[in-house]
Structure 1
């Protein structure tokens, strides 16, 4: 058990009103804390039935499922009120302390001590008139510091300032050392662009903070004190407030005539169609839920036609209890087969629209996609630098997955490079390029036909940024024939070079070789060989290396580690394996991971013998000779390298055992099998493979890559290109004396 001095500090989030987005604030704050290397647990002490409804507590369930925690269930509202009525406040707070201890004890047993615990306070409602008193008691019982969670409108600053001032008084006022500041959620009328939905963590708050703070201080000068900080300003986002079509069906008790993709499509807007279809074409847009009477055949047909043209509607909601006839259903069958949800209700269209406007906006417990996006969105609008300065003193820092992703994006944004994407018309690649362009991660170049790429973007409900460069291969391919023949003198002629340049990966690789771009990312629809072979032929290896290998960044729950080589070299000899270790250590260090290299084998130390173990032992010796200052050891079994208790037992004198950050596998069979086993069985995100050892950065994608995977691989490529530029600059300076 942790000692008293090791107990994590507590932060209590106190809502100032109903609908302030308290649970979203908790999710985002925990995500933000993780980004700066602080591990936070979560506790909701009390259930509130009138807000939660029947069933399990929504906040506790969302934190458990979204953030992979195991918070205890809260005290029931009935028990809370019974103890309050009986004036058993001490007993009530003792129950809360017990829950708090469960949170810290569970984390301790899991081997991951907490730095903080985020506690969700009681929401003031017409029924819970005791909310303010109970929150004050929670703060005292847990010795908690307070963050107020409010909401409002920038055009009504006086009401917001008075609300914050009033609630802070229960905790000593806004200048109290106990009150850290506030997070403003779902703020309206902010200077915010809905298209920038996924900014990097901590990057959006500064831009929105000043206009809000200026307005608040006009009505409450106390808010200008240094002690009370505007920790986060989170704008209202229509996209993140969008329910799934299935949520709408459940709220309206609608029947699903065709469920389709009701569980994944989002309702961004609802359009009541009372006019003829010809006069309502503007409503048929991505994310639109078309509401119309069930006997309006023209609207139903228009919906089906829009769907077949690639517009992903949220669905169609038929009112008045009218049902399309069988012939109409068969005519619309191709649209239904694309996943178009069709709902029906007995209420008339106007009543149905009213019911839609009254839907609960809280996140359903099973909507993990929305919960995760909201957590990242809120984290992006929280002042990370302030959190780091005020909360991390004296606490263990670690490179968490969130910190790794944040660092990737931040470094890429600081060193924006040109990255060519040969698979320019592939939908995931197009979306990733748009995100990278808007977030300033890279200047992306898509290879492909502009009209085709624009259609791909349109069908996904996206708009291509004006500065996103598109190059038509047909218009530029010919000028690379001569340089390619020179590069591969004696191996190619003009005819074979022209034929190979019809492969956009080869074309992109030539652009990279001629320094027209800084990096290349491919593989969403191509094999690894398709991506790597042109790089071997045209880019070649860096002067200090003889081989090209790869690493995966494995985003384990507690930290990020490096696996190499899992994708390129089938059976390296000892010399090659030593080079892979040195390349991988360098890659780890470049991305903020302190390299402690474990050379993996089926044997630890001198406990085993044989050709395979001897190879690993020799590779370790060679790597040590080439990099004497590098922490490296081997052979080590995986558990001896990764688990501290096993490492102490099997290799007590090893500087690496039990705390390795870089794992070098003896061959591709072992490496690829291990990485996939960990990735799939433990649900670990892996970023890569990142190629290392080339003169210039070329990176491969998994054909199952998600959009985020592509974004992070582009960011990796930008950072590699930056490092190459810096290395070249240092060499030039050294050469000129």
Structure 2
């Protein structure tokens, strides 16, 4: 039976999109097919939240099936035929959709000019008719005292409970003061359901420059997509002379000034270029446009920084901007990560997942695999070093990793350059200096370390010179070598100052893993270092190896790769069933390459008789049950293999790329195997989510590692 969650509120503007996004995240961790249903919808344009959910969670649900009817239609139907008929229509519509899904997220009415009387009661009754558990969201205002905040949540609880709603929990959103949070903590002890408290998050309320552009109908004179995605945290009005104006600039501010004030335009952009501070952009008023020379200088001073223009004056423009709030949309994926980080930090997701009572799917989808990575890394947080501290994708990934408490980080690079780049990208990274202590909140933190200036450089040089003395490496040479970010990061891992390292977004594979061969070295139970990819197909996750490191493994090495890959698979929740791949199956073929695979299979079976291993076997017989039934009937691996070992790098690398591109699989990796501590390489084309996944994998690997 479908399990449904109905997220609702008690009034408009409660910010419940954060909760709706968080609940969707929990549901997609547990089941493959999650549907969305909004019973009533405005007819004034696209549904931003639904578009975000559809984009982020790759929903295949037809958009038309996600909505019941418009508010205008509902008001007319209720007036003419009564509430029972309205309920009947909406319930029929819901069940027509829900039959195709394992779980449903229902988005309640928004209390915004709906034309419906007794809207809270309507939501409660509809949830009851749908058989959905209710999750009410109560928003507070900044000037409410602790007693008023607690009373509002208590009254909302009573209102829904008295109407027979099956309450899942209560959520108090945008709670500003610690006193109010304490009061809600006391209230939670007296209610039968949990009360979760989400504090106010300024980064969610801040509109992006793009949203300012759309709201004001502004024209873009300068700026790129990255600049338009910056958050506008403050408004600064430029009217004074430059010496008085510059001290008023703040991080992430939008400068509003008449377009004929070339001095303030150039001054603000020069300050931004110097990193003191990094502004969100400029909004020029009065339809005054700077001259060509001014614009050309502006473009050179701060490339990508947006400069917009509007026809109105500064004060009317300000009147429109001040109430403008940020919105969660498909076009603001960074805000979605911020929202999820807020939800996961302040909601007991384990407790709420249990209360959802959704039966976990047996299939493992790519999204479920990614969710599992995040959950496991959060459970025992580790410290990962990222050598490429000024790279945009790495910085964007760092923000996600910190927001969602996946791990603590060290970013390597010149501190001023890293901070300036993060500010230019509009990222909310609270970067600690080398040696600076974190606060007492227990949140994930990122530290900045400059290998050239760090006091660790001498210590690392002494250690490296000792490790490489047999190669004639002197202290002086080692002092130069360890200043390289890859070597410095690897030394941090060896010395226990970080639990793992991820690099390769801009560095080559060799530059990333060569230091680990020299410094960290292989485990005692591993003969070589190899790699594995997690291939996330539509309905399962397979492990491919080796696709990145060992060109021509012999039988001994192939057996070692298979055993390491089985361990990797098991560590990440994939039950290992090993297929030793070849161009023939069983005894049907012969030749040196087939004999190598046959010998490797025998070695795996003798060393690890507990592992289910089949080989030599062709790919189709390994993964397709109908082929397996013909070629290897009775095999416990054929047709259901999960760990596929390729006979050489040429075959493995081409196969993983072919499957990735042709079947639309998500390839996570390569994950290096056999090192004493985890170091992992990125593709130079890695996306932000690829980096997040690889760091999470590294953190999970580190949870099971022993010291060097």
So what's the TM-score if we normalise by structure 2?
0.83
Alpha-carbon distance change, 321 to 486 in structure 1, aligned in 2, over 3 angstroms = closer
Report the Cα distance in structure 1 between the residues aligned to 2:119 and 2:210, rounded to whole angstroms. Answer: 33
Partner residue, 1:55: 45
Rounded Cα–Cα distance in structure 1 between residues aligned with 2:84 and 2:240 = 63
2:375 match:
407
Pair 1:605–1:136, CA change in 2 (3 A): farther
What pairs up with 1:544-555 in 2 under 5 angstroms?
544-555=525-536
Residue 735 of structure 1 is matched in structure 2 by none
Return closer, same or farther for 1:137/1:500 CA change in 2, 3 Å cut-off: closer
Q: Which residue of 1 aligns with 2:219?
A: 255
1:156 aligned onto 2:156: no
The aligned residue for residue 733 of structure 1 is none
**Contact 1:34–1:402 (8 Å) recurs in 2:** no
Structure 2 counterparts to residues 275-314 of structure 1, below 5 A? 275-310=240-275, 312-314=278-280
Give the SS at the match of 1:122.
Answer: coil
2:184 to 190, 201, 212: 212
Secondary structure of 1:629's aligned partner: coil
TM-superposed CA distance for 1:569, in Å, is: 0.9
Q: What is the rounded CA distance, in whole Å, between the counterparts of 2:630 and 2:93 in structure 1? A: 36
Query: 2:310 corresponds to which residue?
Result: 345
What is the alpha-carbon distance in structure 2 between the residues aligned to residue 361 and residue 516 of structure 1? 38
Partner residue, 1:27: 21
Structure 2: how far apart are the matches of 1:552 and 1:149? 41
The aligned residue for residue 443 of structure 2 is none
Indicate how the Cα distance of structure 1 residues 67 and 259 shifts in structure 2: closer, same or farther if over 3 A, else same.
Answer: same
Distance 1:682 1:245, change over 3 A: farther
- 1:669 maps to what in 2? 650
Cross-structure match for 1:198: none
In the TM superposition, what is the alpha-carbon distance from 1:297 to its structure 2 partner? 2.2
Change (3 A) 1:290 1:552: same
1:11 matched to 2:5? The reply is yes
In structure 2, the partner of 1:224 is: 190
1:65 aligned to 55, 63, 78, which one? 55
The answer on 1:334 being equivalent to 2:300 is: yes
1:689 is matched with 670
> What pairs up with 1:86-125 in 2 under 5 angstroms?
86-87=80-81, 89=83, 92-107=86-101, 114=102, 116-125=103-112
In 2: Cα distance, 1:652 partner to 1:701 partner: 40
Any conservation in 1 of the 2:6–2:132 contact (CA below 8 Å)?
yes
Evaluate the alpha carbon distance shift between residue 645 and residue 714 of structure 1 in structure 2; reply closer, same or farther with a 3 A threshold: same
Alpha-carbon RMSD across the aligned residues, in angstroms, is 3.8
Q: Given that residues 424 and 447 in structure 1 are in contact (C-alpha distance below 8 angstroms), is that contact kept between their aligned partners in structure 2?
A: yes
Greater displacement, 702-711 / 340-349: 702-711
Kept in 1: contact 2:10–2:120 (CA 8 A):
no
**Separation in 2 of the partners of 1:501 and 1:157?**
54
- How far is 1:543 from its partner? 2.1
Assess if the C-alpha contact under 8 Å between 1:165 and 1:173 holds in 2: no
Q: CA, structure 1 residues 254+723, in 2 after alignment: closer, same or farther (shift >3 Å)?
A: closer
- Could you say what secondary structure the match of 1:359 adopts? coil
Gaps of 5+ in 2: 438-446
Q: Name the counterpart of 1:181.
A: 169
- Aligned match for 2:130, one of 142, 145, 161: 142
Shift of 1:350: 0.9
What is the CA-CA distance between 1:294 and the residue it aligns to? 1.8
In 2 relative to 1, CA 620–132 (structure 1 residues): closer, same or farther, beyond 3 Å?
A: same
TM-score (norm 1): 0.80
In structure 1, C-alpha distance between the alignment counterparts of 2:249 and 2:70, rounded to whole Å = 45
* Alpha-carbon distance in 1 for matches of 2:295, 2:369: 48
Q: State the 1:103 CA deviation.
A: 3.7
The answer to whether the 8 A contact 1:408-1:712 is kept is: no
Q: Distance in 2 between matches of 1:211 and 1:486?
A: 59
Q: Would the alpha carbon gap of residues 98 and 561 (structure 1) be closer, same or farther in structure 2, given more than 3 Å must change?
A: farther
Give 1:724 deviation, angstroms.
3.2
